[in-house]
Amino acid sequence: MLIFPAIDLKNGRCVRLYQGQFQQETVVNENPLEQAVVFEKLGAKVLHLVDLDGALEGKPTNLPVIEQIAKTLSIPVQVGGGIRSIETIETLLSVGVARVIIGTAALLNPAFLQEALEKYGERIVVGIDAKDEHVATRGWLDVSDVHYIALAKQMEKMGVKTIVFTDISRDGTLAGPNFEQLQALQEAVSVQIVASGGVSSMDDIKQLNEMNLYGVITGKALYEGKIALEEALQAVEVC
């Protein structure tokens, strides 16, 4: 299982939110590049970036920082937040981003997603963010009536190979992942699943690894010292 250390970008800084609420922001590092380099030095094999401003505005707003990180690191970087056009995808890939995560547009603009999949294949990842099992969009401000598993099945039919699943109610809470929803998703589709939201301990990492998930994203637990990245990496390699 891959461990994706997370860097959430807001106003050019590395922050953490509580349950996706923009007013509950904690700055964890004024220098996101510095933080990214630390993760790579600790042994991270991949990095997860989210442009929080972009998720709200519908277009990347932290591109200079993203480019700086992607071009400095030697490990693959995946980016989500505000990716709603082919031009945006092309821009991100051109500055060194390995994979892009399409969230809101996957639900609201399937034609765009289909075009992106045809052009870029497995470099396109879909992010499904759910609240009470229903898909949320536009930086988690709107909640649809679409069930997360129904959307995942639709994504699989379209050719999506990897899905990042976030239970919004767990994000930034250190309350533990929603294992039940993750298990249901794992059983419903055959795509690669990346768990996100609520990871709080090594026990969480080990349990997710035992579920044979493709990956896990962790942020707050790393920043608060609940999980040591080196220990987590070693645990998933041994299991």
Please identify every residue annotated as catalytic.
Answer: 8, 129
Structural contact between residues 36 and 72, judged by C-beta atoms closer than 8 angstroms = yes
Q: For residue 79, give both structure tokens.
A: 């980016």
Please work out, in degrees rounded to the nearest 5, the angle formed at the alpha carbon of residue 222 by the alpha carbons of 45 and 95. 45
Distance CA 73, CA 33 (A): 9
- 157 neighbors 149 (Cβ within 8 angstroms): no
CA-CA distance, 121 to 189, in Å (whole number)?
Answer: 18
In contact, 9 and 196? CB cutoff 8 Å: no
9 DSSP β-pair partners: 14, 51
Q: Cα 127 to the chain's mean position, in Å? A: 7
CA–CA distance from 198 to each of 18, 39, 59, 142 (Å)? Answer: 10, 19, 27, 21
